[in-house]
Each structure stands twice: as structure tokens, then as C-alpha cells.
Amino acid sequence: ELHRSKCGRKSLFLRRHKFIDYVSHCFHNRGWSLDACVGYALAKGIFQKDQVVSTKTLYNYVDLGLMDIKNGDLPEKVKRNTKTCRARVNKRILGRSIDERSPRIESRKDFGHWECDLVLGHKTKD
């Protein structure tokens, strides 16, 4: 049990808490996005590359509730629809397929057996 607790990769959340506090401060006080906070910190040299977590990781921390920023605070994230569109399995079967024709007709030796031979007229139902 003791050995198991030491297995696996440890979260960067505890090791990079200074950067995460900086991001939270910039987000609330300056109104920046999470990506802008990361970019500004790297561009101005406030934090080194090994002291910073990626933007995707910050959004994951927001989703998990580890930061004091909530999903409702993110303006673009509230607008997006997270529901996936599901495709209908069998929408509708309209008539018979052309693949149901007999192989004798496929030879096209007889006149009159073309692609329209499966089309039903409006007066007949067979």
C-alpha cells in the first residue's frame, strides 16, 4: 500500500502553485483569458518554461474544480454546446434498391431493363 501511493505521475498542480496563483490573479483582476496569462508569463520572462503548465492543463484544472475559476467565469466556454450530435441509424428506407434486380437484367441484352425499372408510378402500388 505504501509503495502503491508512490506509483504514478504526480500532478503538476501542487508543484506549480505559484504559476497557478499568478494565472488566477491575472484572470480575475485583469480580465485575461487563461491562454493570455500563459503567453504573457512566458513572453515577459515572469516564469520559465519548466515552471508553467499548458493552457489545456489549466482548462482541465478548471473542469476538475481545482482552481478558483469556474466554467461559468469563462465567457466562451459557456456559449459552446457540449452535446454531441448523434446520427440516426435507419432514417427511412425509400423503396427497393437497384441491387435487388436479377442478374439477367444486369447483362442489358433485353430492351427496357434500365435503371428506371424499379420506379413506381403514382397510380400503382406494386
pLDDT of 124 reads 63
Give 22-70 pLDDT, tens digit per residue: 999 999 999 999 999 999 999 999 999 989 999 999 999 998 989 899 8
pTM to 2 decimal places: 0.58
Q: What digits encode the pLDDT tens for the residues 5-28? A: 888 888 888 888 899 999 999 999
CA distance 96 to 77: 47
Domain ranges of the chain: 10-78
Name the DSSP class of 17.
H
List, for residues 78-123, the tens digit of each pLDDT value. 777 777 777 777 666 667 777 777 777 777 676 665 555 556 666 6
